[in-house]
C-alpha cells in the first residue's frame, strides 16, 4: 500500500488523465452525457474511498468504467424515467457480466466523437469551449468559471443547459460525414485554439489543456494536416512562455527575449510536426502560422531572423484570411524584409477598415514604424492611441516606456 499523500496524487493524476476517455466511452454506451457524468462522479467517489485502502487497481480506467456502468444499471433499475431503456439495461448487464478484470485497451476511444459533439455549431461558442474543457479535459466547473471570469453557478447553468440541449435536440455523438468534416473540424480547431489563447497571457492551466487536447486530436486524426499544424503552432508559441515576461511580470517583446529561456524540447517537437506535415501540401492557416513561429524559434537572434520568408508566409496567410490582424503582422515583417516605408505603406492601405480605430496592435505597429522612420510626432500620436486601447497592465507599461524614450 502506498503512503496516503503519494496515493492521492497518483489517484488524482489517473482520474485526470482517464476522465475524457472514460466519459466519452460511457456517454457513447449510455447515450446521455449527464447520466454518464453522474455515474462517473459516483465511480470516482468510490475510487477515492477504496483505492487508498486496497491500492490502485491494475487497470484503473477499466475499474472506473465498470463501476460507473454498474451505477448506471442501478439507476436504470430504480428510476422510472429509464424504464423505457430496458434494451440498454440488458446490454449493459451483458457487458458487466463479461467485464470481470476487463482489459483497459478494450475501452473504445470515443473522445473524437465527443469533441465533435461538444463543438457542435448548434451550441454557442463559449458553451463549446466550456463543454470541451469539462468533458474532454475533466476541468471542474469552478476551474472553467475562473478561467472565463464567470460565477461558478452561471457556468454550471451553462453546462447543464448544454447537456440538456445535446440530449433533447438530438446532437449526435459521432464524427461528421466526410462532406461535413472539413467545416466541422475547423470549428473544433478554433475552439482548441481559443482555449490556448485564453490561457496564454495569464498564468492558467488552459494553455496546457489546449495542448493536451491538440495532442489527443493529432493522435486520433494523424492524417489531418491542420490538426498537426495547430498542435505545432501551440507548442512553438508555448515554448516562449517563460521568456515573455520579466521578474516583475513586465511584458518582454520578441526582439528582447532571452532565447536561452525558450523551451527547446517544445520547439523541436513543434518543428518536427511541421516538417512532417508541410510536404503533404494541404497547407492551411495553422500550418502557416506555425511555420512563421518556427522561423522565429529557430533563429539564433532577432537580427538573424529570416524576414523575407516570414513576410512571404504572412502574404500567403493573408490570401487565406484577409484580415487586419494578418496584414498588420505582415507589414511588420515587410518593414524588416524590405524597408520601413514599405511596411508603412501596407498599414496605410488598411486605413478604411472600420475595425482599425479600436485595434490596438495596428497603432502599436504604426508607432514602432514611425519611430524607425524618425517621424517622432506621428510615433507619439500612435503610441498614445495604442496606450489608450491597451487593457493589459504589463503591455501598457511597455508602451509607456517606449513613448517616454522618444519624448
Partner 1 sequence: MQYMCLIYSAEGSGPQPGTDEFGPFMKAYGDYTAQMRESGALVHADALQPVATATTVTVRNGQTITTDGPFAETKEQLGGYYLLECENLDDAIAKAARIPTATYGRIEIRPIIVWDD
**Closer residue to partner 1 in complex, CB, 188/273:** 188
The single residue among 16, 77, 151, 180 that binds partner 1, judged by CB under 8 A, is 180
177: which DSSP letter?
P
Taking the complex as a whole, the smallest distance from the CB of residue 85 to partner 1 amounts, in Å, to: 12
Cα→Cα distances 236→209, 229, 271, 281, 287, Å? 15, 10, 8, 21, 11
Binding letters toward partner 1, positions 78-107, x by CB under 8 A? ---x--x-----------------------
Taking the complex as a whole, the smallest distance from the CB of residue 181 to partner 1 amounts, in Å, to: 12
Rounded to whole angstroms, the Cα distance separating 9 from 14 reads 9
Taking the complex as a whole, the smallest distance from the CB of residue 337 to partner 1 amounts, in Å, to: 45
Rounded to whole angstroms, the Cα distance separating 203 from 390 reads 19
Taking the complex as a whole, the smallest distance from the CB of residue 305 to partner 1 amounts, in Å, to: 46
Which grid cell is 92?
Answer: 449493459
- Residue of 279, 292, 110, 285 lying closest to 189 (CA atoms): 285
Q: Is 204 within 8 Å of 198 (Cβ atoms)?
A: yes
Taking the complex as a whole, the smallest distance from the CB of residue 375 to partner 1 amounts, in Å, to: 50
**Closer residue to partner 1 in complex, CB, 101/121:** 121
Span interacting with partner 1, options 155-163, 173-181, 291-299, 331-339, rule CB under 8 A:
173-181
203: which DSSP letter?
S
- The number of residues that bind partner 1 (CB under 8 A) is 12
295: which DSSP letter?
H
Which grid cell is 196?
Answer: 490556448
Rg (CA), the chain: 25
Rounded to whole angstroms, the Cα distance separating 312 from 333 reads 9
Taking the complex as a whole, the smallest distance from the CB of residue 169 to partner 1 amounts, in Å, to: 5
**Closer residue to partner 1 in complex, CB, 5/80:** 80
Rounded to whole angstroms, the Cα distance separating 15 from 12 reads 5
The single residue among 48, 106, 122, 242 that binds partner 1, judged by CB under 8 A, is 122
**Closer residue to partner 1 in complex, CB, 97/168:** 168
Rounded to whole angstroms, the Cα distance separating 189 from 198 reads 14
**Closer residue to partner 1 in complex, CB, 27/305:** 27
Taking the complex as a whole, the smallest distance from the CB of residue 222 to partner 1 amounts, in Å, to: 25
Q: What is the 3-state secondary structure (H, E, C) of 47-109?
A: HHHHHHHHCCCCCHHHHHHHHHHHHHHHHHHHCHHHHHHHHHHHHHHHHHHCCCCCCHHHCCC
Binding letters toward partner 1, positions 267-306, x by CB under 8 A? ----------------------------------------
171 part of the interface to partner 1, by CB under 8 A: yes
Taking the complex as a whole, the smallest distance from the CB of residue 119 to partner 1 amounts, in Å, to: 13
Rounded to 5 degrees, what are φ and ψ at 7?
Answer: -65, -35
The single residue among 31, 55, 172, 349 that binds partner 1, judged by CB under 8 A, is 172
169 part of the interface to partner 1, by CB under 8 A: yes
Taking the complex as a whole, the smallest distance from the CB of residue 108 to partner 1 amounts, in Å, to: 20
Which residue is it, cell 490596438? 360
120 part of the interface to partner 1, by CB under 8 A: yes
Residues near partner 1 (CB under 8 A) are: 81, 84, 120, 122, 168-172, 174, 176, 180
Amino acid at each position: 500500500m502506498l503512503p496516503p499523500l503519494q496515493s492521492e496524487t497518483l489517484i488524482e493524476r489517473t482520474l485526470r488523465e482517464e476522465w475524457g476517455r472514460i466519459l466519452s466511452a460511457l456517454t457513447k454506451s449510455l447515450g446521455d452525457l449527464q447520466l454518464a457524468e453522474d455515474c462517473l462522479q459516483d465511480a470516482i467517489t468510490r475510487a477515492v474511498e477504496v483505492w487508498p485502502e486496497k491500492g490502485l487497481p491494475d487497470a484503473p480506467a477499466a475499474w472506473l468504467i465498470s463501476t460507473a456502468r454498474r451505477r448506471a444499471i442501478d439507476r436504470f433499475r430504480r428510476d422510472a424515467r429509464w424504464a423505457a431503456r430496458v434494451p440498454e439495461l440488458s446490454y449493459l448487464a451483458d457487458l458487466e457480466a463479461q467485464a470481470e478484470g476487463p482489459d483497459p485497451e478494450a475501452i473504445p476511444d470515443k473522445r473524437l466523437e465527443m469533441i465533435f459533439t461538444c463543438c457542435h455549431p448548434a451550441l454557442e461558442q463559449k458553451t463549446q469551449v466550456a463543454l470541451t474543457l469539462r468533458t474532454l479535459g475533466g476541468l471542474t466547473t469552478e476551474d472553467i468559471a475562473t478561467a472565463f471570469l464567470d460565477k461558478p453557478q452561471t457556468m454550471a447553468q451553462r453546462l447543464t443547459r448544454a447537456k440538456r440541449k445535446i440530449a433533447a435536440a438530438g446532437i449526435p455523438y459521432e464524427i461528421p460525414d466526410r462532406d461535413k468534416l472539413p467545416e466541422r473540424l475547423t470549428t473544433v480547431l478554433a475552439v482548441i485554439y481559443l482555449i490556448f489563447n485564453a490561457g496564454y497571457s495569464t498564468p492558467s492551466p488552459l494553455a496546457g489543456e489546449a495542448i493536451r487536447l491538440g495532442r489527443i486530436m493529432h493522435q486520433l486524426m494523424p492524417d489531418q494536416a491542420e490538426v498537426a499544424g495547430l498542435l505545432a503552432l501551440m507548442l512553438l508559441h508555448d515554448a516562449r512562455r517563460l521568456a515573455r515576461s520579466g521578474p516583475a511580470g513586465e511584458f518582454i517583446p520578441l526582439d528582447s527575449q532571452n532565447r536561452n529561456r525558450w523551451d527547446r524540447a517544445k520547439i523541436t517537437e513543434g518543428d518536427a510536426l511541421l516538417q512532417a506535415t508541410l510536404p503533404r501540401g494541404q497547407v492551411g492557416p495553422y500550418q502557416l502560422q506555425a511555420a512563421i513561429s518556427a522561423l522565429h524559434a529557430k533563429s539564433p537572434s532577432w537580427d538573424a531572423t529570416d524576414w523575407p520568408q516570414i513576410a512571404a508566409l504572412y502574404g500567403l496567410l493573408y490570401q487565406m484570411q484577409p484580415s487586419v490582424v494578418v496584414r498588420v503582422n505582415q507589414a511588420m515583417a515587410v518593414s524588416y524584409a524590405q524597408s520601413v516605408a514599405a511596411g508603412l505603406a501596407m498599414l496605410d492601405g488598411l486605413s478604411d477598415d472600420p475595425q482599425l480605430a479600436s485595434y490596438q496592435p495596428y497603432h502599436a505597429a504604426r508607432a514602432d514604424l514611425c519611430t524607425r522612420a524618425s517621424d517622432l510626432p506621428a510615433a507619439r500620436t500612435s503610441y498614445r492611441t495604442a496606450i489608450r486601447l491597451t487593457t493589459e497592465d504589463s503591455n501598457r507599461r511597455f508602451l509607456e516606456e517606449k513613448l517616454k524614450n522618444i519624448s
